[in-house]
Amino acid sequence: MRVFAMIILFLFITGNLWFVGNAAAATDTAISGKSRQGKSRIAPETVVIPGGTFDMGSTSGDPDERPVRSVTLDPFKIDVHEVTNAEYQRCVKAGICAPAHYDDNTCNVMTDHGWWEGEAPSVFKDPNKPVVCISWYEAKKYCEWKQGSLPTEAQFEYAARAGTKTKYYWGDDPDKGCGCANGADIDGARIFETVWGAQYPEKMNCHDGNPYTAPVKSYKPNRFGLYDMTGNIWEWCSDWYAPHYKSGAPTNPVGADTGVYRVLRGGSAESAPDHLTTTFRDRSMPHYRMLYDGFRCVYKP
């Protein structure tokens, strides 16, 4: 399921970055890009999500999105955007967090030899972009430093839906998502076709402006005012992954009691539309670090 990341990163590393097109990304010029000092101008922000009951999962998605069940959540507070490189660096400077693993050959990137643990391209290190190459343990430590925690999978889906019942927070049509999310789009397809001579199999048929990660808050927020709950980077959740949900109507569910993988949610810049839905579930081993995996935190309101 990480094939798109493999392809895109291969093209980047081999110097085939000729991305054009920036038609639809709703970039806020007030917050995008670096300052002259190269520091982030994006402030940490949170929003309180009201408690409520919603139908979690999907009958039209993958089998692990079932059974659809009625979930009730207490109110919680959540980061408005993904944790940025600049924010994470503050935890590093405080002596709490280990540096993001961009250059120590412990992050999984792609070269012409395939997936291996190598150095992350510099395009991922912008202070306003989400921190990646972070294990689940490292994400958890950051959130605890912030006196929060990683979101549960139920909290993430509830926050991502923001009251909607459609596949995406903007509706059911992935081709209308390019102002709303950084996913696999036409430009990713163009890069792919140029080098590989084949059709990019699945994509949003529009231009989202970013073949790699984008600065946080580059796209429209959902109804809760949250950015990039769909796309840009996958986000670690606190739950162990299980191949199906427990049935019933739980309140504040926390996932499986134990497992091998931790849940990742939301899809990323390398994700095809089927992986960008509000219900799609990805997973990874908690010690694993990937170029498109990051996180945000939740807090008590």
* Site residues, Ca ion (CB under 5 A): 182, 185, 208, 210, 228, 232-233, 266, 269
Do residues 92 and 99 touch, judged by C-beta distance below 8 A? yes
Q: How far is the CB of 90 from Ca ion (least distance, A)?
A: 20
Q: Smallest gap, in angstroms, from Cβ of residue 61 to Ca ion? A: 18
The smaller minimum CB distance to Ca ion, of residues 234 and 245, is found at 234
Closest CA to 133 of 79, 83, 181, 192: 83
- 47 or 104: CB nearest Ca ion: 47
Cβ distance 208 to 24 under 8 Å?
A: yes
* Closest to Ca ion by CB, 216 or 242: 216
CB nearer to Ca ion: give 245 or 292: 292
Closest approach, Cβ 37 to Ca ion, in A, equals 27
CB 296 within 8 A of CB 235: yes
For the bound state, the minimum distance from the C-beta of residue 209 to Ca ion, rounded and expressed in Å, comes to 7
For the beta sheet containing 76-79, the strands, ordered from the edge strand earlier in sequence to the opposite edge, are 46-49, 76-79, 298-299
Q: Residue 40 or 232: which CB sits closer to Ca ion?
A: 232
CA distances from 295 to 16, 80, 135, 173, 250 (A): 28, 11, 10, 26, 25
Q: How far is the CB of 274 from Ca ion (least distance, A)?
A: 15
- Which CB atom, from 182 or from 222, has the smaller least distance to Ca ion? 182
Q: Which one, of 48, 44, 39, lies nearest residue 299 by Cα?
A: 48
Structure tokens at 95: 């002596």
In whole angstroms, the minimum distance from the beta carbon of 82 to Ca ion comes to: 5
What size, in residues, is the chain? 301
Residues 65 and 55 sit within 8 Å (Cβ to Cβ): no
Q: Which residues pair with 107 in a beta bridge?
A: 118
